[in-house]
Amino acid sequence: MATLPAEVLARRSARRRRREAIVTHVCLIIGVLIFAFPIYLAVIGSTHSASTIGRGDVPLLPGPDAVANYAQAWGTGGGRFMGVPAGGMLINSLVMATLIAAGKIAISLTSAYAIAFFRFPLRMVFFWLIFITLMLPVEVRIIPTFQVMVSLGMTNSMQGLVVPLIASATATLLFRQFFLTIPDEYVEAAKIDGAGPLRFFVDILLPLSRTNIAALFVILFIYGWNQYLWPLLIVNDRSLETIVVGLTKMIGSGDSQNEWNVIMATAMLAMLPPVGVVLLMQRWFVKGLTETEK
């Protein structure tokens, strides 16, 4: 086999590399489009009138009715029988998601602190009791948990939406893991300076945990916002409706005469806060996700 000059080889491999890069770009662009297209279509749907969509002339370019549709979705809601304004539902979702995230973080921080920095009887028993709740997702025990809620009179209330969901084995594990990496010298120094355990917790541990708390908050906020089965069961007072459940109630059996324009506008409003959180806090989000699940 004749040897080719180095120049020719170099040019060839450069060409091959460029070709590979193009293939990579094409694959990724197709992937991105597959994820973006349903959203694009929802945006388009939210800018046309109900009759345009109902006729089935699905347009591919924005229409003139965006302002009217979003105003209706926000202020009065859609659906032929009972409209619930998206504004109120968004506030409910925001309150629920924030309280769930904050509650999970608060009680997990304190319980991880107790387990990592104290010695007391039954320590490991409590740790395992928290740990095994990993194996009991809310969906699995949904009906008996609902019965407990009924006996406690907690249905149809914001506490009912939030409190049962704030126990968190994953957050406790994550904080415990992190606390174990904090050197003993910190504790010794605190003791020498006469700082008690609560002072140590507030002045040293919390500031050190800042990034972990932020990362976890992003994940848990989205977890709370996207709850479905639980609010569907617990709440039938429509003033407590969350946006995700309220949205699917607008659809009913998926009739083509639905006000699809308002439904799509509501869908956009329902997606905006969690997607915004992911995009704005991407770094923390990825950190939180990959660390909590391991």
Partner 1 sequence: MRRTFFRGVGLPYLLLAPQLLVTAVFFFWPAGQAVYQSFLREDAFGLSSEFVGLENFIDVLSDRDWRGAAARTAFFSISVAALALSAALFLAVQADKHIRGAGAYRTLLIWPYAVAPAIAAVLWLFMVHPSIGLFGRALNAMGVPWDYKLNGDQAMLVVILASAWKQVSYNFIFFLAGLQGIPRPVLEAAAIDGAGPVRRFWTVVFPLLSPTAFFLLVVNLVYACFDTFGVIHALTQGGPGKSTETLIYRVYTDGVTNLNLGSSAAQSVILMILVIGLTVVQFRFVERKVHY
Within 92-121, which residues bind partner 1 (CB under 8 A)? 106-108, 110-111, 113-121
Instruction: Count CA within 13 A, CB hemisphere, residue 284.
Output: 18
Answer for the pair 213, 108: CB distance below 8 angstroms, yes or no.
Answer: no
DSSP code, position 140: T
142 binds partner 1, rule: CB under 8 A: yes
Site string for partner 1, 246-275 (x = CB under 8 A): -xx--x-xx-x---x--xx--x--xx--xx
Q: Which is nearer to partner 1, 90 or 244 (CB)?
A: 244
What is the spatial distance between Cα 268 and Cα 186, in angstroms, rounded to a whole number? Answer: 48
204 binds partner 1, rule: CB under 8 A: no
288 binds partner 1, rule: CB under 8 A: no
Q: How far is the CB of 50 from partner 1 (least distance, A)?
A: 10
Host H or E run for residue 72 = helix 66-75
Residues 6+ apart with CB under 8 A from 181: none
Residue from 98, 133, 155, 157 in contact with partner 1 (CB under 8 A) = 133
Q: How far is the CB of 127 from partner 1 (least distance, A)?
A: 9
Distances (CA, A) of 50 to 88, 169, 259: 23, 46, 5
Site for partner 1 in 24-83 (CB under 8 A): 24-25, 27-28, 31-32, 34-39, 41-42, 45, 53-54, 56, 58, 60
245 binds partner 1, rule: CB under 8 A: yes
89 binds partner 1, rule: CB under 8 A: no
150 binds partner 1, rule: CB under 8 A: no
Residue from 163, 177, 214, 238 in contact with partner 1 (CB under 8 A) = 163
Number of residues counted as binding partner 1 (CB under 8 A):
104
The tokens of 241 are what?
Answer: 């409706």
What is the spatial distance between Cα 77 and Cα 185, in angstroms, rounded to a whole number? Answer: 58
- b/e sequence 271-282, b meaning 16+ C-beta within 10 Å: bebbeebbeebe
How many residues would you count in the chain? 294
Q: Which is nearer to partner 1, 8 or 150 (CB)?
A: 150
